Amino acid sequence: MDYGELIKKAEEAKENAYVPYSNFKVGAAVLTDKGEVYTGCNVENASYGASNCAERTAIFKAVSEGEKKFKAIAIVSSSGDFTYPCGICRQVIVEFMRDGEIILGNSKGEYRVYRTEEILPFAFTGKDIK
């Protein structure tokens, strides 16, 4: 699957976002090493701490279906600009996609591609526990 297709899936997922507080919609699409795509959107909650980001929604959905290895994740938002994953999402991405690619899309149809280690250098992993 090419980046444009993955961005399109993220755009579609963004439309399902539940964002009554921020009105900031985010969509994500994760590509497994088997070529399957799982999507997610952000889901807000009045208590804020119970909210979940699009990236984690997509990854957790895939994991709940038995997938644990990913090649790439595409992320888009209603801002129209490139939207980077938050710190918690970066840590979750590292857990399942240490060597993958993060594709950020904007409303102009442009995208930027980063290796996971570029957006979270020196990441903490379970391998660090002795």
CB atoms closer than 10 angstroms to residue 86: 13
Give the pLDDT confidence score for residue 1 in this predicted structure. Answer: 82
- In the set 44, 55, 101, 110, the catalytic residue is 55
Q: Is 101 a catalytic residue?
A: no
pLDDT tens by residue, 48-94: 999 999 999 999 999 999 999 999 999 999 999 999 999 999 999 99
Q: What pTM was estimated for this model as a whole?
A: 0.95
The 3-state DSSP class for residue 77 equals strand
Q: How far apart are CA 41 and CA 51, in angstroms?
A: 11
pLDDT tens by residue, 90-124: 999 999 999 999 999 999 999 999 999 999 998 98
Domain annotation for the chain: domains and CATH numbers:
3-128 (3.40.140.10)
Q: How far apart are CA 60 and CA 40, in angstroms?
A: 9
Give the pLDDT confidence score for residue 127 in this predicted structure. Answer: 72
| Residue closest to 17 by CA, chosen among 37, 42, 39 | 42
